[in-house]
A and B are shown apart, each in its own frame.
Chain A
Amino acid sequence: MTTEAPDPQRVREALAEATGDDPGALELSPIEGGASRQTFLVSAGGEPRWVVRREPAAGMSFNSLEVELGAVKAADLAGVAVAPTVCFEPAGGRFGAGAAYAMEFVSGTAVAPRVLRRDELAIARERLPGQLAAALAQTHTVEPGAVEGLAGGASDPALEACDLWEAVLDAIGEPLPAVEAGLRWLRLNPPPPAEPRLVHGDFRLGNLIVDAHGLAAVIDWELCHAGDPAEDLAWLALRSWRFGNDDLPVAGLGETEPFLAAYEAAGGARPDAERLRWWEAMGNVKWAVICARQAHDHLTGARPSAELASLGRRICEPEWDLLQILAGPDGSGREAERASGGVP
């Protein structure tokens, strides 16, 4: 995907105005990997200083950039490590066609395989599960009303999630019977309604900047909404987000029990196993539908990209995990599994 970078001179003006300090001549370069929003690294004198995050001209976003910015600020106030925001420019402003904001550059890496495998991040890996649990507990202290325009917030977040992903699936028009069967089961077996809180919505390696000390910043709040906090906890356990470390359910880094204990110790309310399982299944629905939507954005020409196209052929991965969760490991169905005392 090629995208036109913001004009360095106009970015300089905006940053000088926001910080009260002229940074001098700036260089902007696109950062690879953002699936939906465009991100640019802003350097001054060869040093990375800021990151500009901009709404794409085409393709659907789940939240406006203003809402995303509001969520980052609210999370910051709640003590979550985020990249501090610097300034906002509306669509057609000094950062270009789409609405955009600038944040401070946070050094480290967000690339999941590096986080999981690099030698110099060994200590970070030991600390991360506890740090991630604490960051989520802090995020989940935020009341939805603290973020203006935040999506979601229905009295039953579980059924609201069913409605949302059914609607996205309908907009795509791709027939996915396995996803439909999962959605139907989830709709018929929801957990009791949870009190909605700010949920990050895509909390996993890839959206977390990690340095040698561990978690440096939680980024990419595009999918944030008011929802059941268990959604974030379960999302982190999706097999897709273990990046090959299949036997370590928490982000490919750790075990579930100490992670939940750390979440509880940091003030989070521990969800029961059934609720977590429901949201893990829903997480797989969500990832399958997002894959389908990304491929759809390629197919319609909204965002032509071989990488987005390739996601259409990854739908079957979360579909498999979804059906495995709902069928139980021996395929005998959930009822038989419950009768035999359940599987953790």
Chain B
Amino acid sequence: MQDRPTAPELLDAMAAKLFAEVREWVPRERRFQILVLANLCAVIARELRAGAEPSLADARLFRGLLRRPVEPAIAPQEADAVARATAAELAGAIRAGELDDRLDEAIGRLREHVARKLEIARPGYGG
């Protein structure tokens, strides 16, 4: 256990400071770089708050598109690694044409995965 503030709360504080104060201290032509850093703090804070659920949902979606039988539950601490490994398999299967007969379905369903990434990286972009 760590003391408060929590990691996301610390990142919120950093983002606010960078955005509201530090930005004003740097030359105008470099302010963009401070905005990038402030935004990254906000992205990490959202990712920490979301926990393992987005990766778990992605792993389930990818397995479904690969028509895998339902596999044993994924431990939260392994969610990201499993999602990435399954994403690589799915990417390879799509490239190989194995999903050609249901490509429209895959395109439709993969929007759920992309929407989950946008929730962390750029809320509101997906409408």
Q: CB within 8 Å of B: which residues of A?
A: 32-33, 166, 175-178, 180-185, 188, 306-307, 309-310, 313-317, 319-320, 323-324, 326-327, 331, 333-335
**Chain B contacts for A175, CB-based, 8 A:** 84, 87-88, 90-91
B115 located at the interface, meaning its Cβ lies under 8 Å from any Cβ of chain A in the complex: yes
B111 touches A320 (CB 8 A): yes
A178 near B30 (CB under 8 angstroms)?
A: no
Q: In the complex, what's the smallest C-beta–C-beta distance from B124 to chain A, in angstroms?
A: 11
Report if A320-B95 is in contact (Cβ < 8 Å); known contacts: A327-B108, A327-B111: no
Q: Which 10 pairs show the lowest CB-CB distances between chains A and B?
A: A316-B117, A175-B88, A175-B87, A333-B104, A180-B94, A313-B121, A180-B91, A177-B90, A178-B110, A175-B91
The interface residues of chain B lying within 8 Å CB-to-CB of A166 are 95
Which chain A residues border B110 with CB–CB below 8 Å? 177-178, 181, 323
Q: Which residues of B contact A (CB under 8 A)?
A: 29-30, 32-33, 36-37, 39-40, 43, 62, 65, 84, 87-88, 90-91, 94-95, 97, 99-100, 103-104, 106-108, 110-111, 113-115, 117-118, 120-122, 125-126
Q: Are A320 and B126 in contact (CB under 8 A)?
A: yes
Check A331 against B95 for contact (C-beta < 8 Å): no
**Is there contact, CB below 8 Å, between A180 and B95?**
yes
Task: List, in ascending order, chain A residues with CB within 8 A of B37's CB.
Answer: 306
Asked whether, in the complex, the Cβ of B100 is within 8 Å of the Cβ of A184, the reply is: yes
Residues of A within 8 A of B33 (CB): 32, 306-307
Cβ contacts under 8 Å, B39 to chain A:
310
Q: A180-B94, A184-B97 are in contact. Are A316 and B104 (CB under 8 A)?
A: no
Instruction: Find the residue from B65, B84, B88, B94 having the highest chain A CB count within 10 A.
Output: B94
Q: How far is the CA of A327 from the CA of B107 in the complex (A)?
A: 7
Partner pick for A177 among B30, B87, B108, CB 8 A cutoff? B87
Question: DSSP class of B's interface residues: helix, strand, loop or mixed?
Answer: helix
By a CB distance below 8 angstroms, the chain B residues around A180 are 90-91, 94-95
Give the residue of B99, B103, B122 whose beta carbon is less than 8 angstroms from that of A317. B122
Which single residue of chain B is at the shortest CB-CB distance from A179? B91
Q: Is the interface of A mostly helix, strand, loop or mixed?
A: helix
CB-based contact B104/A32 at 8 Å:
no
Q: Do the beta carbons of A185 and B107 come within 8 Å of each other?
A: yes
Q: For residue A326, which residue of chain B has the nearest CB?
A: B107
- In Å, the complex CA distance between A180 and B95 comes to 6
B115: which of A33, A176, A315, A320 is its contact (CB, 8 Å)? A320
Return B31 CB to nearest CB of chain A, in Å.
10
Contact A184 B103 (CB under 8 A): yes
CB pair B125–A177 under 8 Å, yes or no, is: no
Contact, CB under 8 Å: B126 / A176: no
The smallest C-beta distance from B19 to any residue of chain A, in angstroms, reads 15
B36's partner among A177, A188, A310 (CB-CB below 8 A) is A310
Residue ID in chain A nearest B39 by CB atoms? A310
Q: Kindly name the residue among A166, A184, A188 whose own CB sees the greatest number of chain B CB atoms within 10 A.
A: A184
On chain B, the residues within 8 Å of A331 by CB distance are 108, 111
Which of A32, A317, A323, A327 sits near B29, CB closer than 8 Å?
A32
- A sample of 11 cross-chain residue pairs with beta-carbon separation below 8 angstroms, ordered by A number, consists of A33-B32, A177-B87, A178-B113, A184-B99, A306-B37, A310-B36, A313-B43, A314-B122, A316-B121, A323-B107, A326-B107
Smallest CB–CB gap between B91 and chain A, Å?
4
Minimum distance in angstroms from B17 CB to a CB of chain A:
16
List B contacts of A323 (CB < 8 A).
107-108, 110-111, 114
- Checking A184, A307, A320 against B125 with a beta-carbon cut-off of 8 angstroms, the contacting residue is A320
- Looking at B30, B120, B121, the one whose CB has the most chain A CB atoms below 10 A away is B121
**A310: chain B residues within 8 A (beta carbon):** 36, 39-40
What's the nearest-Cβ distance from chain A to residue B62, in Å?
7
Contacts A177-B94, A180-B91, A313-B43 given; indicate if A319 touches B114 (C-beta within 8 A).
Answer: yes
